[in-house]
Structure 1
Amino acid sequence: MPVLHRRLLLGASAAALLVAIAPAGAEPAKGEPIYLGVSGPLTGPNAQYGAQWKMGFDLALDEINGGGGIKGRPLAYQFEDSQSDPRQSVAVAQKFVADPKIVAELGDFSSPASMAASPIYQKAKLVQFGFTNSHPDFTKGGDYMWSNSVSQADEQPLSAAYAVKRLGLKRIAVLHLNTDWGRTSKDIFVKAAKDMGAEIVATEGYLADEKDFRSTLVRVRDAKPDGLMLISYYSDGALIARQAKQAGLTLPIVAASSVYSPKFIELGGDAVEGIYTASRYFPGDSRPLVKEFVAKFKAKYGKEPDAFNAYAYDTMILMAAVMRESGTDRKSIHDGLAKVKDVPSVIFGKTTFDTKTRRVDGAMNVELVVKDGTFQLNEAHAAVR
């Protein structure tokens, strides 16, 4: 069966399952809230991601609590600003594990920030649900680390296939965030691209707060690549694209899915036109569950949701399903994540965990390109596992 056809069937069945999660006509939730702790950026260079999370969380809570909550009790969250800084995420973790009302934790945004705090959550037996943590080692921190983010071990080979097999790039320069996440992602991409027959002519790491890439781009230009790979977030990726254009580098650019946000286009302007990326989520997807999510998000916020909104929404729906089925104490949530099956998901169609990796199976790769100031399906696009 074609992949996109399977996606339609998954979407239809997931939409039917949604009735069981938020039954029509249920009384709105009342009483003492059940609290999830959220560790993430509300200030600092990654603050926009925290704002995007809150929109996804709040849309999901409208549905969850409007449909009766968790056995009549409302679900809520306590958001602590970590700036996605590992030092601050550790302090947030200490606060959450000491607070008995926090039954599970969501976040942090970056894998390094989450992984710095993982030993605290593991020791206290409080689930750390890193829903944007794609570092392959995140869930190896212990059996209380779970994620519905696709591991870079799976994503970067898909990025390499997009660059080498779909776009025909043979000499690639890689620019990457010089963090554990960025270096690990770069290593996986480089190996995969080489295995596919490409030559990596340059690799350049940069700091998250770096603003001037001119000398880096000169070195990249001198290596004579036929394409660039950006392992970046949307803010730094947009800045690199702008400066590459100013430097006269007009090569094809492929970027990791972490740039996929309207903010990338807003910050990059004309410089990001023609940049290729991929995503686990695309608002133009024809699955009923995606169409319903996009319509509700637009009605509430007046704009189209991006992948970070979708991951936050999915995560809150998932946690509600786990607590309804297994209970609301810390151990029940941990045990319930291993048992839950086929929870409706905007990203995955249905969510079921591989209990060995504590990650979700079945992610899709939707190939995109920036065209006319928007993300669009790449011409003759193919979604691949």
Structure 2
Amino acid sequence: KGVKVVCDIYQDTDYGREIHEATQDQLKVQGLTLAASSAHKPSATDFAAAVAKLKKANCEAIMMGTIIRDTILPVSTGKKSGWMPIWVGPVGIMDTLVASAKGGVTEGLYSMTSFEFAYPDDKRAVVQKFVADYKARVGKNPNQAAQLGYVAADLTFQAIKGAGRNLTTDSFVAAMEGISGYQDIFGGSKLSFGAKKRQGSNDAFLVQVENGRWARKSGIRGY
């Protein structure tokens, strides 16, 4: 979108600082610098000063090292003053609570993720079965955390199965390293591991809040 003025807002935690550092690293690659930055405690609820600071810097896009409440509140605060820059966060903000925030305040918010969130009305049979089984056990529809948890558990199960009956730490690690092209049932990026490959995937895609739901907006992009 031709953005040149990039800022960030992040919680002052290891998680938030990693997003802050990653933003700076990527801007260097693009020949840009961070125009303004604002850090806050995870418990913060007042973002008036932070938003005013970012607005004063004429930020066109704001990278977010936030999770749920501290994602909703800055965006909401900006909109109340008529200021609507591009807000972009990582997979940590891609929760149904964020997308369905009261009054549609997060409409237009972006998230860069390697995980595909499947809504309960997803027509795929495998997803429908997962939703039905989860709801029967828990009594409510699975959110993003539940789906990510399922993927993590399934990956672990695949490695245990691959390690065989004589399971040891070494055989488990070897089995994990042998996983290649793993595709979760929800449609996220494929995962592959190895002796020198621990991240699983270097692929991601863009999603955006539309009508209170996360909607995919790009194909897979490597990084």
Shared fold per TM-score greater than 0.5: yes
Give 2:35's match in structure 1, choosing from 201, 204, 208.
201
Give 1:367's match in structure 2, choosing from 171, 182, 206.
206
Q: Write out per-residue CA displacement over residues 290-322 of structure 1, whole angstroms, 9 at most, x where no aligned residue.
A: 934421233232876554333211221222222
> Post-superposition shift, 1:197?
4.0
2:138 matches 1:299: no
Amino acid at match of 1:358: R
Q: Please tell me whether the aligned partners of residues 280 and 364 of structure 1 are also in contact (alpha carbons under 8 angstroms).
A: yes
Partners of 1:267 and 1:360 lie apart in 2 by: 31
2:185 matches 1:352: no
> Post-superposition shift, 1:241?
1.4
Alignment root-mean-square deviation, CA:
2.7
Give 2:69's match in structure 1, choosing from 235, 253, 264.
235
Please name the residue that 1:383 is paired with: 220
Change (3 A) 1:292 1:194: farther
Larger-gyration structure (1/2): 1
Match of 1:181, SS state, is: helix
Q: Please tell me whether the aligned partners of residues 213 and 240 of structure 1 are also in contact (alpha carbons under 8 angstroms).
A: yes
> Post-superposition shift, 1:353?
0.7
Match of 1:233, SS state, is: coil
Amino acid at match of 1:352: S
Match of 1:317, SS state, is: helix
The 5-angstrom pairing of residues 77-92 of structure 1 reads none
Partners of 1:283 and 1:271 lie apart in 2 by: 20
Q: Please tell me whether the aligned partners of residues 174 and 202 of structure 1 are also in contact (alpha carbons under 8 angstroms).
A: yes
Gapped regions of structure 1 (runs ≥ 5): 1-166
Give 1:218's match in structure 2, choosing from 52, 55, 77.
52
Partners of 2:50 and 2:191 lie apart in 1 by: 41
Please name the residue that 1:250 is paired with: 84
Give 2:158's match in structure 1, choosing from 321, 331, 348.
321
Amino acid at match of 1:375: W
2:23 matches 1:189: yes
> Post-superposition shift, 1:233?
0.7
> Post-superposition shift, 1:248?
3.1
Number of aligned positions between the proteins: 212
> Post-superposition shift, 1:205?
1.0
> Post-superposition shift, 1:331?
4.0
Change (3 A) 1:318 1:377: closer
Give 1:275's match in structure 2, choosing from 85, 92, 109.
109
Give 2:93's match in structure 1, choosing from 232, 255, 259.
259
Give 1:310's match in structure 2, choosing from 127, 141, 147.
147
Partners of 2:90 and 2:181 lie apart in 1 by: 28
Change (3 A) 1:382 1:181: same
Q: Write out per-residue CA displacement over residues 140-178 of structure 1, whole angstroms, 9 at most, x where no aligned residue.
A: xxxxxxxxxxxxxxxxxxxxxxxxxxx322112210111
Q: Write out per-residue CA displacement over residues 314-356 of structure 1, whole angstroms, 9 at most, x where no aligned residue.
A: 2212222222221434443233323344444346565431322
Partners of 1:224 and 1:344 lie apart in 2 by: 41
Identity across matched positions, percent = 18
Change (3 A) 1:269 1:280: farther
Please name the residue that 1:334 is paired with: 173
Q: Please tell me whether the aligned partners of residues 169 and 198 of structure 1 are also in contact (alpha carbons under 8 angstroms).
A: no
Match of 2:26, SS state, is: helix
Q: Please tell me whether the aligned partners of residues 214 and 247 of structure 1 are also in contact (alpha carbons under 8 angstroms).
A: no
Q: Write out per-residue CA displacement over residues 46-88 of structure 1, whole angstroms, 9 at most, x where no aligned residue.
A: xxxxxxxxxxxxxxxxxxxxxxxxxxxxxxxxxxxxxxxxxxx
Greater per-residue helix proportion: 1
Partners of 1:358 and 1:383 lie apart in 2 by: 20
Query: What is the TM-score of this pair, normalised by structure 2?
Result: 0.81
Partners of 1:339 and 1:175 lie apart in 2 by: 38
Q: Please tell me whether the aligned partners of residues 173 and 229 of structure 1 are also in contact (alpha carbons under 8 angstroms).
A: yes
Q: Please tell me whether the aligned partners of residues 270 and 373 of structure 1 are also in contact (alpha carbons under 8 angstroms).
A: yes
Amino acid at match of 1:369: Q
Task: Decide which moves more: 342-351 or 176-185.
Answer: 342-351
Q: Write out per-residue CA displacement over residues 13-64 of structure 1, whole angstroms, 9 at most, x where no aligned residue.
A: xxxxxxxxxxxxxxxxxxxxxxxxxxxxxxxxxxxxxxxxxxxxxxxxxxxx
Change (3 A) 1:206 1:293: farther
The 5-angstrom pairing of residues 145-160 of structure 1 reads none
Please name the residue that 1:116 is paired with: none
Match of 2:62, SS state, is: strand
Q: Please tell me whether the aligned partners of residues 253 and 275 of structure 1 are also in contact (alpha carbons under 8 angstroms).
A: yes
Gapped regions of structure 2 (runs ≥ 5): none
